[in-house]
Amino acid sequence: MTTYNIALLAGDGIGPEVMKEAVKVLKLVEERNADVNFELNDVLFGAAAYFATGKSFPEQTKAACDKADAILKGTIGLNHEDSQKIPVDEQPERGALLPLRRRYNTYANFRPVYLPKGLAHFSPLKESVVGDGIDIMLIRELVGGLYFGEKETGVDAEGKRFVREVLEYDEDQIRQIIRVGFEVSMKRKKVMHNIHKSNVLKSSVLWNEIVEEESKNFPEVEVINILVDAAATYLCLKPTMFDVMVMENMFGDILSDQGGGILGSLGLMPSACKGPEKSYYEPSHGSAPDIAGKGIANPYSMIGSVALMLEMSFGMEKEAKNLWAAMQSVFANGYSTSDLSKEGEANLVSTAEFGDMVCEELAKMPV
């Protein structure tokens, strides 16, 4: 029997709603795999933690994460108005999420942008553009760049308010994520799009130099360099031209949300955040304050993050595949949450119903 300790950080907004479905799935996976035991440890994180303890990433949560084999995170954050009730440095993004990434150096963020042909109707793009489906592995550097650089705000000698934020990378930080890009490309189509902005940013000049150096270690991989602004256009016009895309932190934040856009919803965007010793898993989307509490959020990104955890942290590849297939079956049976279906359609289901259906489909599959 192998026991895996998982820290559950449900967070804010729709976080607890989609986490509930993830837990349902984990319990079923445990039931189906007699040699696996999940020890689930629910802890406070984000605004919920701040209002309960005065800290958005409390010590108790840090301790639970430290001892966990993997961390499963829901979503954090409040709407703009409610966010102002929390001091800037304790707001869940700065006070909890970035420190979580920093604490475990989760530098490699995998954000699959995936829509099989059978689900092409969810995409706002034309059928002729989606072709045989979209299958991109977007890899985002997650612990460097503007997010973590020095920041200063103040008033200058003339009395004008100013702000300065530094975009900083050293070559080791760049090299480690570029290597991940090459390694993933080797397992896929051996074509890697390197996203950069070297016509303006010096950070991209160094980034590209390192891509070129590393490409010598992966001679089978074709590297295609593309400016980030052009990449945004191509993602809409010709998404099928991409397989692996690798990029720095901020570019990855923006392009991965666009990824959700071309699929039809951010509810279709799971992710894995991998560090040298520990990884955590989270939907790419936020806490969706506009739909929180209504029971209508799409739990696919959250359950997909469970599938990534099973595969990447616990080596349960087969069960992860079963879980992806179970989710695709629910869609193939015609059911979806309201982000993907129109009001009044008979096949519209709630968050909990979608989770139940995933479990029903999974239960039918041989272990």
Which are the catalytic amino acids? 147, 197, 229, 253, 257
* Gyration radius from the chain CA atoms: 21
Taking Cα atoms as reference points, which of 237, 275, 238, 251 lies closest to residue 138? 251
The reply to whether 282 sits near Mn ion by the rule CB under 5 A is no
Phi-psi region of 128 (alpha: psi -120 to 50; beta: other; left: phi over 0): alpha
Instruction: Please state, in angstroms and as integers, the Cα–Cα distance from residue 319 to each residue in 5, 263, 307, 322, 367, following that order.
Output: 18, 24, 8, 5, 7
Q: Does 327 bind ligand NAD (CB under 6 A)?
A: no
Q: How many CB atoms lie within 10 A of CB 35?
A: 6
253 binds Mn ion (CB under 5 A): yes
**Considering the rule CB under 6 A, would residue 65 count as an interface residue with ligand NAD?**
no
Contact between 75 and ligand NAD per CB under 6 A: yes
> Of 139-147, 200-208, 284-292, 326-334, which segment contacts ligand NAD by CB under 6 A?
284-292
Assess contact for 287 and 12: CB atoms under 8 A: yes
Find which of Mn ion, ligand IPM, ligand NAD, none residue 290 binds, CB within 5 to 8 Å per kind.
Answer: ligand NAD
Among 185, 204, 287, 305, binds ligand NAD (CB under 6 A): 287
Structure tokens, 283: 């939907």
Could you give the CA distance from residue 44 to residue 179 in angstroms, rounded to a whole number?
34
Least separation, in Å, of the C-beta of 109 and ligand NAD?
10
Size of the site for ligand IPM (CB under 6 A): 6
Instruction: Name which of 147 and 182 has its Cβ closer to ligand NAD.
Output: 147
Q: CA–CA separation, 136 vs 238, rounded Å? A: 12
Query: C-beta of 91: minimal distance to ligand NAD in Å?
Result: 8
Q: How far is the CB of 221 from ligand NAD (least distance, A)?
A: 30
Q: Which range in 20-28, 58-66, 71-79, 342-350 contacts ligand NAD by CB under 6 A?
A: 71-79
Among 282, 311, 319, 361, binds ligand NAD (CB under 6 A): 282
Phi–psi pair at 95, nearest 5 degrees: -90, -20
Instruction: Report DSSP letters for 156-202, one per residue.
Output: -TTS-EEEEE-----HHHHHHHHHHHHHHHHHTTSEEEEEE-TTT-H
Which x/- pattern, by CB under 6 A, does the window 228-247 give for ligand NAD? --------------------
Contact residues for ligand IPM (CB under 6 A)?
77, 93, 97, 253, 284, 286
